[in-house]
Structure 1
Amino acid sequence: VVSGMHGTVMVLPRDGLKDAEGKALRYDKIFYIGENELYVPKDADGKYKTYETIGESYADTMEVMRKLIPSHVVFNGKVGSLTGKNTLTAKVGETVMLVHSQANRDTRPHLIGGHGDYVWEAGKFNNPPQKDLETWFIRGGSAGAALYTFREPGVYAYV
């Protein structure tokens, strides 16, 4: 996990998503966003260390982790995974479900230019969703989801 390996499994309700009043909610596509933090040890000169095996890195990695200051934070495992040719796209009128997971630390996703129309911060779809959140809270070791319908053309940044 501290080397970036984690994922998420979220099970949708058999009878579909519903709002707090029991009205059916729909979406056109789902985007998965895994927020990964890496804890890579450095040598005395500040250069990242390499090891023959993952086992050899254990003690140094644990020492770096104790400070809870990651050496790298990336989405979906690598730099640029959601930019350039990998940019997530949606058309005006489309409803997108954003599934966000975070293995270690708490995080607060925010869609610049939009918001979460419906948000399940703890990923429990049988619970009523919160509505119209600018920023939502994903606990470390957890995943959450938000629905957003794109109303205007443009560039939306997910941070």
Structure 2
Amino acid sequence: MARIHLSKRTLRIAIAALSVVVLLLGAAAYGLPGISQPAADSHAGHAAAAASAVEPAPADLVRMPQPEVAPPVGDRGPQLVKVELEAKEIVAEIDDGVAYKFWTFNGTVPGPMIRVREGDTVELTLKNSLDSTAPHNIDLHAVTGPGGGAAATTVSPGKQATIQFLAMHPGVYVYHCATPPVAMHIANGMYGLIVVEPEGGLPQVDREFYVMQGDFYLSGERGEKGLHGFDMEQMLAENPDYVVFNGSVGALTGDNALKAKTGETVRIFFGVGGPNLTSSFHVIGEVFDRVAPEGAAEWVSHVQTTMVPAGGATIVEFQVEVPGNYTLVDHSLGRLAKGAAGVLQVEGPDNPEVYTVIEHGDQSGGH
């Protein structure tokens, strides 16, 4: 009997494509939205292509822009709020010299923050860019309705859909693409936060920041220069190449570091897109004065680290008393090497009553 020899690369392509088909068949069996034969063929093709060798990166490769914090709602009555999002597939840097084709809402990871108040009626239109290579939709965890909106918003490239919903529950919620295979769309960057403020609004603070963690699964080797594809096999094994805040390594450092001044109160809206990992969110050198676990209405005080599940979110608040750099981390600290770090830069006068150095150690290092 003749023996068939398969290369590692060929086997990897076959496994990736087969994995997509299995996921799609399972999703179809459960009646999830957006299932069609063209979509299945398209995603299988993506998986096979992604498992191929790393390609040269575009010459004009840059990082994605950072999404802005939506302004506070304030003390106003309920109203109609119109929101427009567009699914866009863009090539950008995830690490120095490492390019990736992100699937996004409005060209950023995370997508735009949607901010409304309890009792608002929200009219949301989702467009899918004509340049997209797959159908997309949106599931908002703040929505009460089939699929969180996903059942009605699955759109082909160049098409759009509109839903309307009542913002019934105050809190902070994840939204994401839910087109099968759902985990693939999320792993490519399709997630964001919707903040539903309570009646009367959230208490005023000095600084607000918008941070989301995601895990990314790339073909080729982590750090290898060039344009990488998506690796289905690694995603199913829950073994990400990168775990990052806001879409790329170092996205919240240097010129893009979060900034505050001593004496100010900071609020961070923090969510986890996933698709797989839970975050142990911690700011090194600070204690959270208040935390809304999973965005709940009931706050807790004096928290060192808060657990945020995939598809979950929280609000943390704290006053900064001492100048210096404070590192945002997932305290599953092996993920630091995969990019899960950001910096909060605090400026202002020293505060020796709170913290002072009596004698320096003989070596540099530490956080």
- Between the aligned partners of 2:284 and 2:228, the Cα distance in structure 1 is 37
2:248 corresponds in structure 1 to: 78
- Give the alignment of 1:4-153 within 5 angstroms: 4-17=189-202, 25-42=203-220, 50=228, 61-104=231-274, 105-124=277-296, 127-153=297-323
Which structure carries more strand by proportion?
2
Q: Give TM-score, length-normalised by structure 1.
A: 0.79
Structure 2 stretches of 5 or more lacking a match? 1-185, 330-367
Cα distance, 1:66–1:49 mapped onto 2, change above 3 Å: farther
2:80 corresponds in structure 1 to: none
2:183 corresponds in structure 1 to: none
Cα distance, 1:47–1:93 mapped onto 2, change above 3 Å: closer
Cα distance, 1:50–1:146 mapped onto 2, change above 3 Å: closer
Higher normalized contact order (CA 8 Å, seq sep 6+, divided by chain length): 1
- Between the aligned partners of 1:10 and 1:142, the Cα distance in structure 2 is 12
1:54 corresponds in structure 2 to: none
The offset of 1:158, in angstroms, is 1.1
The offset of 1:47, in angstroms, is 8.8
- Between the aligned partners of 2:219 and 2:243, the Cα distance in structure 1 is 14
The offset of 1:9, in angstroms, is 1.0
The offset of 1:76, in angstroms, is 0.6
Aligned length: 140
Structure 1 stretches of 5 or more lacking a match? 18-24, 52-56
Which structure carries more helix by proportion?
2
* Identity score, percent: 34
Report if the CA contact (8 A) 1:32-1:98 is conserved. Answer: yes
Q: Rg larger in 1 or in 2?
A: 2
For 2:318, what is the secondary structure of its paired residue?
strand
1:22 corresponds in structure 2 to: none
Greater than 3 Å deviation, 4+ residue runs: 46-51
